[in-house]
């Protein structure tokens, strides 16, 4: 346990019931101290979220991956800004100000982030004041000087891709500054979760980012189960990991092909595209849906695996075909010319921003939620944590190549050792158990019966985080969600600096951040 975590737990005002990691209430001084410790690199900021009268900060202990949630009451609607000393919090705080109307005191960037002036309402989750929906002007950061020109791209892009705006300031071909403006696919997901049943909430969370629907459902289920104390049957646990690895495999294959295609090397896309299609077809044959949407539910999984032959055949075929594609990538100088030393992300930035997934691991951040904090069944499975140090597009390609092999390895291990038994534990039963008053307790005494759970799951893109507060009837009172993209998007701005404009697509694809997951 890190010294910071020990210090936080000792200085806490109260410790709240939250599973499996504690949530502590703190005063503004301790909040500031924690912020400074994170900024100094003693821990990693995992998420920052709000309620109308409270702020929460999830702090990741870099030693063992344990999370601690700090809660600061904000009766006057303002709190000491985290972004002031720790830039990864900037966009989160801008979003909190937009949605709840809370004021991060000292926040260096007070422009609206998710609120484009189009909702017809300000602070929709706070005061909710009606306004006209004619849109706000957005002042982009200045980049001035005689040779500079600006290039505006989006929100509608040239490819089949999500919407977002990129503002390039360029000196000739060289990018001097990239500024992202996102929020176009903001769907108000946090607001939608409040007051829904677990089933309804699960369907919404499965659609936070379609490419990582399995990981999101996995994390949602784990958070709900932690809160309600539901024990999940072994077979369901292993089937969840099987789906998660199929999802990782499909996405990594798609990304490797996509990155090469952005260097105009279409042959790789064609071949990787075929392999990706094979993974999706095997997923459909095994679980009845190509993306396995809504297949993981609180309590277990929605469908059992009756026939693993399609997955086995697919894995065998990819083992046969994929090494040739790797060889092709490795031996094509014109392709390497585009990827080596392009879009380099420094190890220091990756660490400070807590960059998850291939983006962080290709820049030396050896973090994978499957290893730390870890969750079943991964402790019983044998796989390597792939890392690279160089941090360029090439490193992110090799990272994914390494993880394709690890996922194949995991899929085969899971199929070999899949336990028999039931696939779900009914959540309703766990709820009624909770409603029985504890022995010795006063049944008439009014008390807060809500319960909280927190979970972190490794998607193909990095760690996704879900926090839930659930009432005794199993309704979600509040939910907070954090996609890995939140901390990766700002790093793309840093990695692209000094590259040529024509290399932006390949850099962007090598990050492959989610717009939907970050806009929520």
Q: Which range in 61-69, 74-82, 199-207, 304-312 contacts other proteins by CB under 8 A?
A: 199-207
Sign, Cα dihedral of 233, 239, 244, 247: negative
The stretch among 208-216, 356-364, 422-430, 488-496 that binds other proteins (CB under 8 A) is: 208-216
The answer for residues whose C-beta is within 8 angstroms of residue 218's C-beta and 6 or more apart is 240, 243, 244, 296, 457
DSSP structure string for 160-186: S----EEEEEEETTEEEEEEEE--TT-
Minimum CB separation of residue 294 from other proteins in Å reads 8
Q: Whose Cβ is closer to other proteins: residue 62's or residue 180's?
A: 180
DSSP state of 135: -
Choose which of 112, 119, 176, 385 interacts with other proteins (CB under 8 A).
Answer: 119
* Closer to other proteins by Cβ: residue 118 or 316: 118
**Rounded CA gap, 322 and 319, in Å?**
6
Q: Is 200 in the site for other proteins (CB under 8 A)?
A: yes
Binds other proteins by CB under 8 A, chosen from 217, 394, 516, 518: 516
Based on CB atoms, which residue is closest to other proteins, 113 or 378? Answer: 113
User: Smallest distance from the beta carbon of 27 to other proteins, in angstroms?
Assistant: 33
Place of tokens 């004041």: 129
We find the least distance from the C-beta atom of residue 33 to other proteins, in angstroms, to be 36
Residue 276 C-beta: closest distance to other proteins, Å: 7
What region does 392 belong to: left with phi over 0, alpha with psi -120 to 50, or beta?
beta
List the end-to-end C-alpha distance of the chain, in Å, as a whole number.
33
Give the containing element (helix H, strand E) for 338.
Answer: helix 333-339
Non-local (6+) Cβ contacts of 129 within 8 A are 121, 122, 123
Q: Which is nearer to other proteins, 81 or 209 (CB)?
A: 209
Please state the closest distance from residue 337 (CB atom) to other proteins, in A: 15
> Is 114 within 8 Å of 186 (Cβ atoms)?
yes
Stretch that binds other proteins, among 205-213, 366-374, 412-420, 440-448 (CB under 8 A): 205-213
Shortest CA distance to 227 belongs to which of 520, 434, 71? 434
CA angle (49 as vertex; 44, 81 as ends), nearest 5: 70
Nearer to other proteins, 123 or 452 (CB): 123
User: Which of positions 315-374 make contact with other proteins (CB under 8 A)?
Assistant: 324, 328, 331-332
Three state DSSP letters for 136-155 = CCCCCCCCCCCCEEEEEECC
**Among 14, 75, 135, 444, contact with other proteins (rule: CB under 8 A):** 135
Query: Taking the complex as a whole, how short is the minimal distance between the CB of residue 514 and other proteins, in angstroms?
Result: 7
Stretch that binds other proteins, among 85-93, 197-205, 232-240, 388-396 (CB under 8 A): 197-205
Round to whole Å and give the CA distance between 114 and 348. Answer: 28
Which residues have CB under 8 Å from 109's CB, separation 6+?
Answer: 83, 90, 94
**Rounded (5°) CA angle 384-280-288:** 115
Restricted to residues 495-514, the positions that interact with other proteins (CB under 8 A) are 514
Q: Does 209 bind other proteins (CB under 8 A)?
A: yes
The residue (of 157 and 351) whose beta carbon lies closer to other proteins is 157
- Report how far residue 152's alpha carbon sits from residue 205's, in angstroms, rounded to the nearest whole number: 32
One residue of 1, 270, 429, 502 binding other proteins per CB under 8 A: 270
CB of 172 to other proteins, least distance (A): 24
CA distance to 160, 178, 204, 232, per residue, from 294 (Å): 24, 37, 10, 17
Selected binder of other proteins within 11, 66, 73, 121 (CB under 8 A): 121
Q: Report the distance separating Cα 486 and Cα 89, nearest Å.
A: 9
Among 271, 352, 361, 461, binds other proteins (CB under 8 A): 271
Distances (CA, A) of 499 to 60, 265, 310, 332, 503: 32, 20, 43, 21, 7
Least distance (Å) between residue 334 CB and other proteins: 10
Q: Say if residues 32 and 39 touch (Cβ distance below 8 Å).
A: no
- Is residue 383 part of the contact set for other proteins (CB under 8 A)? no
Both tokens assigned to 118:
């189009």
Question: Shortest Cβ distance from residue 518 to other proteins (Å)?
Answer: 11
Q: What's the min distance (Å) between Cβ of 358 and other proteins?
A: 17
| Interface pick for other proteins out of 120, 422, 426, 498 (rule CB under 8 A) | 120
Q: Which of residues 150-189 bind other proteins (CB under 8 A)?
A: 155-156, 158-163, 183-189
281-310: which residues touch other proteins (CB under 8 A)?
A: 290-291, 293
Q: In residues, how long is the chain?
A: 520
Contacts with other proteins by CB under 8 A lie at 114, 116, 118-121, 124, 133, 135, 155-156, 158-163, 183-189, 191-192, 200, 203-204, 207-211, 213, 254, 267, 270-271, 273-274, 276-277, 280, 290-291, 293, 324, 328, 331-332, 514-516
């Amino acid at each position: 346990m890190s010294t910071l975590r020990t210090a936080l737990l000792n200085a806490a005002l109260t410790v709240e019931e939250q599973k499996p990691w504690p949530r502590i209430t703190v005063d503004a001084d301790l909040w500031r101290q924690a912020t400074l410790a994170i900024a100094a690199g003693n821990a990693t900021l995992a998420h920052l979220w709000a309620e109308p009268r409270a702020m929460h900060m999830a702090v990741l202990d870099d030693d063992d991956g344990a999370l601690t949630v700090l809660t600061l009451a904000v009766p006057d609607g303002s709190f000491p800004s985290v972004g002031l000393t720790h830039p990864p919090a900037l966009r989160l705080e801008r979003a909190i100000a937009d949605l709840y109307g809370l004021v991060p005191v000292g926040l260096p960037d007070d422009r609206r982030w998710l609120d484009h002036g189009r909702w017809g309402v300000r602070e929709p989750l706070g005061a909710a004041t009606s306004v006209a929906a004619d849109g706000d002007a957005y002042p982009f950061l200045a980049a001035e000087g005689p040779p500079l020109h600006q290039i505006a791209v989006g929100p509608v892009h040239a490819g089949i891709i999500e919407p977002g705006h990129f503002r390039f300031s360029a000196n000739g071909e060289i990018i001097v500054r990239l500024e992202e403006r996102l929020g176009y696919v903001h769907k108000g997901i946090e607001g939608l979760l409040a007051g829904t049943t677990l089933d309804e909430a699960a369907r919404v969370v499965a659609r936070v980012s379609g490419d990582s629907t399995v990981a999101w459902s996995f994390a949602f289920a784990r958070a709900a189960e932690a809160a309600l104390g539901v024990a999940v049957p072994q077979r369901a646990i292993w089937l969840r990991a099987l789906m998660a690895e199929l999802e990782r495999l499909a996405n990594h294959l798609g990304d490797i092909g996509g990155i090469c295609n952005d260097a105009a090397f279409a042959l790789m896309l064609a071949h990787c595209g075929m392999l990706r299609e094979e993974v999706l077809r095997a997923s459909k044959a095994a679980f009845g849906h190509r993306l396995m949407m809504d297949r993981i539910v609180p309590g277990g999984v929605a469908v059992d695996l009756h026939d693993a032959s399609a997955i086995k055949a697919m894995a065998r075929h990819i083992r046969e075909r994929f090494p040739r594609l790797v060889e092709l990538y490795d031996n094509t100088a014109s392709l390497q010319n585009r990827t080596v030393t392009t879009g380099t992300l420094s190890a220091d930035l990756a660490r400070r921003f807590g960059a998850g997934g291939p983006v962080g691991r290709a820049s030396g951040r050896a973090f994978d939620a499957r290893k730390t904090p870890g969750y079943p069944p991964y402790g019983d499975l044998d796989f390597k944590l792939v890392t690279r140090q160089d941090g360029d597009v090439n490193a992110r390609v090799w990272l994914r190549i390494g993880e394709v092999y690890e996922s194949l390895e995991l899929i085969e291990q899971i199929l070999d050792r899949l336990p028999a038994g039931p696939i779900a534990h009914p959540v309703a039963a766990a709820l009624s158990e909770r409603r029985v008053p504890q022995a010795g307790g006063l049944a008439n005494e009014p008390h807060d019966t809500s319960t909280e759970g927190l979970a972190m799951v490794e998607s193909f893109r990095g760690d996704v985080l879900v926090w839930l507060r659930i009432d005794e009837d199993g309704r979600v009172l509040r939910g907070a969600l954090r996609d890995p993209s939140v901390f990766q998007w700002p790093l793309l701005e840093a990695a692209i600096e000094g590259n040529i404009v024509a290399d932006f697509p390949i850099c962007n694809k090598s990050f492959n951040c989610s717009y939907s997951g970050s806009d929520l």
